[in-house]
Amino acid sequence: MVLVNPYAGVNRDIPNLALVYIATYLKTKVVDLNTLPSPYYRFLKYKHDSVGISVQSRTYNEALKIKNIYKKKNPEVKVYSVSGILDVQCCYPYLRLEEDIHIELDFSDDLPFPVYELFDSFFIFKNNWQQGKWQYPLMTSQGCPYSCIYCASRNRSWQLRSVDNCYEELKMAKERYSIKSFVILDDCFNIDKERVLRFCEKVQPLGLSWSCANGLRLDRFDEDIAIALKNAGCNFISFGIESVDTQILAKIKKGENLEQIEKAIDIARSYFKDINGYFIIGLPGSSFQKDIESLNWAKRRNINAFFSYYIPPDELNKGYLFYGRGARPVSDAYPHRLQKKIYILTRYMRPPSEGILNLKEIICNLKDKIYFLLER
Ligand code: SF4
């Protein structure tokens, strides 16, 4: 069997974590079209009796396209989706096609550490990790007991790895891949304060810089955590703010109020130069004015604000994107053209991964192709 990671158009620097765990478990090669999009058709040259595609909601259409291409070319080959171990990454759920191979394993210390060498894009990851341009991804837990209505990670059991196990993975990654930094991709890293403090104490001697890219909860952020993160090498943090409108916060069941949000931002500001805040355009109960107010609040607070579109969780499997190339408004909270206006207004706050490829991206893609050919 060969595994395929479809092109998502975003997060080229973040590997498909469910897929690397599945590949490690099955000891199977991965054609990674997201980090190495070309040559696109290279998945066809793997002559196997079956193909497993990792399908995230954002790559659903791409996955079907790959399946159809494969079936047309090799009708005798079985094409499955592969799923299991992780069920959500970065708010996008993993989906199962009708024919699916599901790996029924909990996310725990019992899993082997991910073997990134199985990805055909590995040389790109390794190169960037070694140069400190990309951060090594680490999930210390999956799931979240909170109930925020917009979030695919909500109301799920919180599956944990021990702090020691996470430390061992980072130590391995430092020795094997010469990583310079790492990024925590938990659905919600700061659910348990004591665990965060123990984690910080444990990883500090590794001397790595790191960040919390997915949103921390503001009501569970305090000075002890800020100090521990800072001392352990964490140099930027992100919060899931979503909106600063009190009624919207109640409607989306965020479980936080503006006072808690502002208090946490004030604490964070004393320790961190860079603070990311995630906001959502078009949440239920929202309006153009309310979303503009969130934008102005973020500007006043000097937060790196990332605005993405609201996609109702039960619509996620239609292939919609929160942000990135191809993202568009789907919420009916207020006219789409006004939601788009906010998205465009805040474009400069997002990474340069959308619209027409710029020269740097074109050169980057060309370099990757050359590396790919040389590596074969
Ligand atoms: S706290 Fe964060 S991860 Fe948990 S449900 Fe809310 S938005 Fe999702």
Q: Which of 90, 217, 311 to mutate to test the pocket of ligand 1 (most atoms within 8 A of CB)?
A: 217
Confidence of residue 360 (pLDDT cuts 50, 70, 90): low
pLDDT of residue 358: 55
Indicate whether 299 and 189 sit together in one domain.
yes
* Residue 129, domain member (yes or no): no
Q: What integer is the mean pLDDT of 136-160?
A: 95
Return all residues near 90 (Cβ < 8 A) that are at least 6 apart.
11, 14, 185, 214
Q: Sorting pLDDT into bands at 50, 70 and 90, what band is 359?
A: low
Residue of 187, 190, 249, 278 with the most ligand 1 atoms within 8 Å of its CB, for mutation: 187
Is residue 72 a part of any domain in this protein? yes
pLDDT exceeds cutoff 50 at 371: no
144 close to ligand 1 (CB < 6 Angstrom): yes
How many Å apart are CA 308 and CA 294, to the nearest integer? 13
Do 190 and 81 lie in a common domain? Answer: no
pLDDT band with cut points at 50, 70 and 90 for residue 375: very low
What pLDDT digit, counting tens, does each position of 60-105 carry?
Answer: 999 999 999 999 988 999 999 999 999 999 889 999 999 999 999 9
Ligand 1, atom 2, lies closest to the CA of 188
Enter the tokens of residue 297.
Answer: 């609040």
Asked if 88 and 187 touch (Cβ cutoff 8 Å), the reply is yes
Query: In this structure, is residue 359 part of a structural domain?
Result: no
Q: How much is the average pLDDT of 234-260?
A: 97
How many domains does the chain fold into? 2
Residue 200: which domain range?
135-345
Is the pLDDT reported for residue 367 higher than 60? Answer: no
Tell me: do 180 and 246 sit in the same domain.
yes
* Nearest atom within ligand 1 for CA of residue 147: 5
In a domain, 324, yes or no: yes
> Are 227 and 80 members of one domain?
no
Q: What is the pLDDT of residues 314-338, one digit of tens each?
A: 888 788 889 887 899 999 999 999 9
Give the pLDDT confidence score for residue 362 in this predicted structure: 59
Residue 369 pLDDT level (bands cut at 50, 70, 90):
low
Residues 220 and 305 grouped into a single domain: yes
Q: Specify if 352 maps to a domain.
A: no
CATH number of the domain enclosing 257? 3.80.30.20
More confident residue, 368 or 70: 70
Residue 155, pLDDT score: 93
Residues 151 and 228 in one domain: yes
Query: What ligand 1 atom has the least distance to the C-alpha of 242?
Result: 7
- The answer to whether 174 and 206 have CB atoms below 8 angstroms apart is yes
Same domain, 300 and 171: yes
Residue identifier of the C-alpha nearest atom 6 of ligand 1: 148
Evaluate if residue 233 carries a pLDDT over 90.
yes
Higher pLDDT: 313 or 42? It is 42
Residue 340 lies in a domain: yes
153 ligand 1 Cβ < 6 A: yes
What order of strands is seen across the sheet that includes strand 55-56?
55-56, 92-95, 88-89
* DSSP string across 298-343: HHHTT-EEEEEE---GGGGGG---SSSTT------SS-HHHHHHHH
Residues 149 and 98 in one domain: no
102 lies in the same domain as 65: yes
Q: Are residues 142 and 97 in the same domain?
A: no
56 & 155 share domain:
no
pLDDT digits (tens, 9 = 90+) for 277-299: 999 999 999 999 999 999 999 99
* 188 within ligand 1 shell (Cβ under 6 A): yes
| Ligand 1 binding pocket includes 221 (Cβ within 6 Å) | no
Same domain, residue pair 50 and 188: no
Quote the ligand 1 centre to 144 CA distance (angstroms). 6
Classify residue 113: in a domain, yes or no. Answer: no
In a domain, 285, yes or no: yes
What 8-state DSSP symbol labels residue 277? E
**What integer pLDDT is reported at residue 370 of this predicted model?**
57
What's the pLDDT band for 355 if we cut at 50, 70, 90?
Answer: very low
